[in-house]
Amino acid sequence: MPDRPAPGPWAVVVNPSKFDDVEEVRSRIDRLCDDRGWPRPRWYSTTVEDPGEGQARAAVADGAELVCPLGGDGTVRAVASALVGTDCTLGLLPGGTGNLLARNLRLPVDDLASALDVALTGKGQPIDVGEVAWDDDPPAVFLVMAGMGLDAEMMAGVDARLKKKVGWLAYAISGATALFRLGFGVRVTAERQRAVSQHARTVLVANCGELTGGIRLIPDAALDDGRLDTVLASPRSISAWLAIGLHVLSVRRYGHPALVHLTSETVEVVTREPVEAQLDGDAVGPRRRMRCRVRPGALTVRVGPEAPVEQNSAASAHGSPAEPVPHPGDRR
């Protein structure tokens, strides 16, 4: 193995509920560090009351230059919330079902040794962070996406035991039961674009483009483009759902009248009645309004040579649509 600079002080924030034997995982990481001549991390465990933000702040106060969440997407988001706007770097270790931020950055999600190598010796890459305020709640950070409707119902209805056994397929099973429920009235306002008022089944505000299961919902979305991508889906039949699915899975995106895509730095979503909502895959309960904004380059993440960032930084002007946006009046 080639000589590499030894990393500085670092920490792991672990969610014990994600592992059958946390001590075995800790021993493995310590052994990998010893084999490479790296310092062992300081360990912090999440709790039900604090899923990682307080532990990450304690790690920074204790001198950590790098903090690695070891858990699901919720643990990643909680740790990132403490690091946004600081000089401390986020490193990603695989520990959850989705690992959505790591997947969007093309980081290892099933090889702890490789992920550790990137986290400790990779380059620091600034990425955008989304910020959302639900109803009258204080703002919260999201790294992947915030949503209302079908996606949130999938998260809220997933069986935790099944999820542990079959991974992301548990979300597909949950989604099948929620697929044909009634939608909701919604108004979406994004700056410099015509407000969209319609009946929708789901609304997603995304900081990046890949969803659970490797689905590329928004191919042009990038973690460093300084904008958010909002998608509204309003299918009214099985054939419309199938058409949207073909659109999402196809290489060439021809568009579909039941799928609206907006890009902006800020966006406000208001529904007629409370609708189930989610934040980076965690259900947060029914909400009527979400106001989102992007914080460009607010978080530094350790990435490897294949991370798909930087090349998209100036891909398009902020606020311009990534693809033609159909207006509700044009729908059939």
All structural domains of the chain, each given as residue ranges with its CATH number in brackets, are 10-121 (3.40.50.10330), 129-297+312-330 (2.60.200.40)
Which one, of 288, 265, 299, lies nearest residue 141 by Cα?
299
Judged on CB neighbours under 10 Å (0-12, 13-18, 19+), 326 is middle
CA 59 – CA 43 distance, rounded (Å):
9
Averages of pLDDT over each 10 residues, the chain, 332 residues: 67 95 96 95 97 98 97 95 96 87 93 95 96 96 94 71 59 57 89 90 92 75 95 76 65 65 96 95 94 98 78 41 36 33
Q: Residue 68 half-sphere exposure, CB side, CA atoms within 13 Å?
A: 28
Which one, of 32, 55, 59, lies nearest residue 45 by Cα?
55
Q: How many CB atoms lie within 10 A of CB 138?
A: 6
Q: Which two tokens stand for residue 145?
A: 């996406």
CB 32 within 8 A of CB 116: yes
Pairing between strand 93-94 and 66-71? parallel
Q: Which two tokens stand for residue 191?
A: 């700056």
pTM of the predicted protein model: 0.83
3-state helix/strand/coil string of 189-217: EECCCCCEEEEECEEEEECCCECHHHCEC
Which one, of 100, 322, 109, lies nearest residue 219 by Cα?
322
CA 135 – CA 288 distance, rounded (Å):
6
CB 257 within 8 A of CB 121: no
Q: Which two tokens stand for residue 187?
A: 């108004």
CA 300 – CA 90 distance, rounded (Å):
6
Which one, of 164, 248, 148, lies nearest residue 203 by Cα?
148
